[in-house]
Amino acid sequence: MVDIETMDVIPTAAIVSIGAVHFDVAGKDSHESLAKHSFNVNISLESNEKFGRTMSASTIEWWLKQSKDAQKSLFRDPLMPLNTALLKYRMWLESKTADRYYANDPDFDIVILNHAFKSINDNSPFAYHQHRSLRTTIELAYPDDPMPNVESGTAHDARDDAIKQAIMVQHCYHQLHG
């Protein structure tokens, strides 16, 4: 599962945080157990700017309305340059055995990551056939009822969101498979 926090909502968006977790879809993990298998980097805005990444006023205004904890999570040290963070993320991904990459919405997270890899002159680590959507998974598992609430960490902290979303996939798996 991957989650990113950005300063825009288009493919060129400045990425300020990447959170990810390696998990077993059929597992029943807690936040604490998944945290041991997680990845997190925070990225400097200045380095995003150097690579032509964009920021929008509406997204910045949205961030100003989020919790103080979410805002603080964006600027936790160390702040890495974009290229270093992406290469570190690639190395973490390559150390895992994964044939699927989940995101809340791959059309957001993975599209922006793919564009960012391209902006640093690197290839994407994601093949098109590996993308999976949490939203679609929830809709399949809970077509008529809302999904049970999953509380896990700070909302809009990329690592915490990735962990929460992985737990949600696991809930859906067990809903679908009994």
In angstroms, rounded to a whole number, what is the distance separating the alpha carbons of residues 29 and 132? Answer: 19
- Contact (Cβ atoms closer than 8 angstroms) between residue 82 and residue 15: yes
For the chain, give the percent of residues with pLDDT over 70: 100
Please count the residues of the chain. Answer: 178
Strand duo 131-133 + 15-21: pairing: unpaired
Give 28's pLDDT tier (boundaries 50, 70, 90).
very high
For the chain, give the percent of residues with pLDDT over 90: 94
- Contact (Cβ atoms closer than 8 angstroms) between residue 154 and residue 73: yes
pLDDT confidence of residue 93: 95
Burial 128-164 (b: 16+ CB within 10 A, else e): eeebebbeebbeebeeeeeeeeeebbbebbbbbbbbb
pLDDT confidence of residue 8: 98
Using a cut of 0.85, tell me whether the model's pTM lies above it.
Answer: yes
Mean pLDDT of 125-138: 95
Give 99's pLDDT tier (boundaries 50, 70, 90).
confident
Q: Which CATH superfamily is domain 2-177 in?
A: Ribonuclease H-like superfamily/Ribonuclease H (3.30.420.10)
